Amino acid sequence: MKVPSILAAGLLAGLLAAPAAAQTKEVTFAHQDMVVPFRVAQAAGAIEKATGYKINWKLFGGGGDVIKAMASGDIPIGEVGSSPATAAAAQGLDVEVIWILDDINNAEQLAVSSKSGIADLAGVKGKKIATPFVSTSHYQLTYALDKAGIKPGDLQVINLRPPEILAAWERGDIDGAFVWDPVLAKIKASGGKAILSSADVAKQGAPTFDAIIVNRAWAEKNKDFVVALLKAIDGADADYRANVAKYTPDSDAVKAIAKVVGATPADVPATLAEYAFPTAADQATPAWLGGGKDGKVAKALANTATFLKAQGRITDVPDDFSKFVDPQFAAAAAK
């Protein structure tokens, strides 16, 4: 596949100027179906060129599955939401958050069927709502229900991965789902109506994000790879921010993103607009990864852990989540 012409010349130069020597290192990268600019470089093979590694891209249906794979030792690096990242830390995995793939903003929503009779959150009582367990969507749904005084026994929350959610929706087996695109877009296109968004839940006190986490020891041994990877992602994000208007359904970039995640090109621009993509420089500060236990990410993980424990999702809450957050790689990528 050709590198999309929409990519900035500077990004291309950096990605394609890597040595042509034979690749001698290999890694399996666990990714999900989040609609992010990074997919453009992923689809083009630009990450391999930038890092010199052979990368086995393995698609997972949810963050919980990624955490299980990392816990087994099969995969050293992957994409997870803030809730799965919190669960991984609470379970004692030797992992750390090194990059904010996206600030979820308004990108995850609770969509319900017109046949369900649900008009607002109170209407979910007695209904079947699906979401991938241990995901950011699951955390947000649980948080919002708790804030609204809706008890777990008041409805049936079903654990389904995004592709399974779509199949259940099409069969009419569920009344609604809290999920992200591309499945969210497909649900809404077939009559689903959003009644709650991640932005709404963030305002209630539960901001969420998607992140890249790594096995700590592996990352230290592969610093050059990690920094080159983050530089490439940062460049893809920068190209999107500078060329939003060019990310149209018929553009090479949008087609590339759609192909990787299984989305419809027509839905991609609107989905991208729901997220925010912080720069490497910003990520290295207390606004995200920096700042120790007072940094935004460490605080978000701690708050998430407290809530998940109260809900019985985890049993232990680490004293200091800053040990699971490492800004050094983002700082190096920003140089």
Please give the domain boundaries of the chain with CATH numbers for all domains: 9-103+209-333 (3.40.190.10), 108-204 (3.40.190.10)
Q: What is the pLDDT of residue 207?
A: 86
Determine if residue 268 is left, alpha or beta; phi over 0 gives left, psi from -120 to 50 gives alpha, anything else beta.
Answer: alpha
Answer yes or no: is pLDDT of 218 > 90: yes
C-alpha closest to that of 3 among 34, 48, 35: 48
What pTM value is reported for the model?
0.83
Q: What is the pLDDT of residue 6?
A: 46
pLDDT (tens digit, 9 = 90+) per residue, 112-162? 999 999 999 999 999 999 999 988 999 999 999 999 999 999 999 999 999
Task: Evaluate whether 81 touches 198 at the Cβ level (below 8 Å).
Answer: no
Q: What is the CA radius of gyration of the chain?
A: 19
Strand arrangement, sheet containing 128-131: 156-159, 128-131, 176-180, 108-112, 193-197
DSSP output for 67-101 = HHHHHTTS-SEEEEEHHHHHHHHHTT--EEEEEEE
Report the alpha-carbon distance of residue 144 to residue 123 in Å, rounded: 13
pLDDT (tens digit, 9 = 90+) per residue, 258-312? 999 999 999 999 999 999 999 999 999 999 999 999 999 999 999 999 988 988 8
C-alpha closest to that of 263 among 188, 177, 206, 154: 188
Average pLDDT score, the chain: 92
214-225 average pLDDT score:
97
Hey, CA dihedral for 182, 254, 200, 230, is it positive or negative? positive
Report the alpha-carbon distance of residue 299 to residue 321 in Å, rounded: 7
Q: What is the pLDDT of residue 2?
A: 43
Comparing 236 with 105, the larger pLDDT belongs to 236
- Categorize the per-residue pLDDT at 19 as very low, low, confident or very high, splitting at 50, 70 and 90: very low
Q: What is the pLDDT of residue 24?
A: 66
206-227 average pLDDT score:
96
Residue % of the chain over a pLDDT of 70: 93
Which segment of 22-26, 50-54, 283-287, 322-326 scores lowest on mean pLDDT? 22-26
